[in-house]
Structure 1
Amino acid sequence: MSRSALTIGVLAVQGDVREHVRVLTSLGAQAHGIRRPTELTDLDGLVIPGGESTTMDKLVRAFDLFDPLRALIAGGLPVYGSCAGMIMLADRIAEGRPDQQTLGGLDITVRRNAFGRQVDSFEEDIDFVGLDGGPVRAVFIRAPWVEDAGDGVDVLARAAGRIVAVRQGALLATSFHPEVTGDARVHELFVEMCKDVQ
């Protein structure tokens, strides 16, 4: 028997946790923050928000979440990563810190802070494959980009000629922050992905 509403966790070690919870709740999901391995049960999906990827990596390991998260990703749990979340889902980081680990799952190489420092943050309207309603307003804050994507990765959007949104199976990632724009279409796509495997 399936539940009437999806249960979607938002990794709550750092980043735009409340913003993602708010958007997901507005779409009818039961969304809540995740900080402990015991909170990873009975999830239909997980969001890894933006933040600072090296700090998130350290905190995920400090909270004993690293191995359980890797197991859920490998087991097919739908996961959406925005900005630093994209880095956390990447299999490879270009010129990353030597001690930085990722949860992996996406056959991509990302470059941290590729669009520049905080002062270089910008917004841009971008075309996003599979979303109706015209361009998506994308907010880039110390954002990564995808330098290389494997054959099984669908490229969904580009900005300034760079790959900024991808999907591979049950994994979705954007280098921008749709949770701060009032446009819920990227989250709607993720909710539909969660429903497909419920």
Structure 2
Amino acid sequence: MTTPHVGVFALQGDVREHLAVLESLGAEAFGVRRVSELERCDALVVPGGESTTMFKLARTFDLFDPIRQRIKEGLPVLGTCAGMIMLAERVEDGTPDQETLGGLDITVRRNAFGRQVDSFEGDVDFAGVEGPVHAIFIRAPWVEETGPEVEVLARIDQGPAAGRIVAVRQGPLMATSFHPEVGGDARIHRLFLDLID
């Protein structure tokens, strides 16, 4: 396989961390701020950040509709934390004007685990990954409901949020509530790169 060209939505969020992990796995990784960069992408990462700011910036920089179109055409996309919200078809506790790129037949609840002070870490079992994944949740969403085509990849297995869905996949789209780019474990990014033809 030729070296995959993987863009990271770079108008807001954890861009550097994702670029570093992708490069460590042999991808040619670069920030996406304009349509010409999006056109180079074999896959795209939408990082954690602030989902309402992200969609507004994507609109301002004329990236929103082109990304949405590439998703409809089958572009593999990984959304992490706010990126999960951006890929969801439906959002609970969003702002009245909240827009998403869509593609994942899920309902996501924004800031479901609470505010910044409620951020936490814990191990989750992740389908397709051997051994536990150490997950870092920062003002994270969770998935309230999934459509029939959506595969649940991980759930919280303890505490008050036990049973809540925190990772999903639908075709070439994958999303996590947590931040796999933090902490030095590249297995989820490797799983994502496997979705690229």
Indicate yes or no: 2:102 matched with 1:100.
no
Q: Which residue of 1 aligns with 2:159?
A: none
Which amino acid in structure 2 is aligned with residue 169 of structure 1? G
Count of residues in Structure 1 that have an aligned counterpart in Structure 2: 192
Deviation string, structure 1 residues 8-55 (Cα, Å, up to 9, x no partner) = 000001111000000000000000000011111131100000000001
User: Partners of 1:161 and 1:185 in 2: how far apart?
Assistant: 22
SS of equivalent residue, structure 2 residue 194: helix
Which amino acid in structure 2 is aligned with residue 71 of structure 1? Q
Q: Which residue of 2 aligns with 1:192?
A: 194
Query: What stretches of structure 1 move > 2 A for 4+ residues in a row?
Result: none
1:39 to 34, 37, 49: 37
Which amino acid in structure 2 is aligned with residue 138 of structure 1? A
Q: Report % sequence identity.
A: 69
Q: Which residue of 2 aligns with 1:67?
A: 65
Deviation string, structure 1 residues 98-135 (Cα, Å, up to 9, x no partner) = 10100000000000000000000000000001112x10
Deviation string, structure 1 residues 64-104 (Cα, Å, up to 9, x no partner) = 00110000000000000000000000000013111010000
User: Partners of 2:60 and 2:123 in 1: how far apart?
Assistant: 37
Q: Which residue of 1 aligns with 2:185?
A: 183
User: Partners of 2:91 and 2:71 in 1: how far apart?
Assistant: 18
SS of equivalent residue, structure 1 residue 178: coil
CA RMSD of aligned residues (A): 0.8
Where in structure 2 are the equivalents of 1:1-198 lying within 5 Å? 4-132=2-130, 134-159=131-156, 160-194=162-196, 197=197
User: Partners of 1:193 and 1:175 in 2: how far apart?
Assistant: 19
> Where in structure 2 are there 5+ consecutive unaligned residues?
157-161
SS of equivalent residue, structure 2 residue 3: coil
TM-score calculated relative to the size of structure 2: 0.96
User: Partners of 1:7 and 1:45 in 2: how far apart?
Assistant: 7
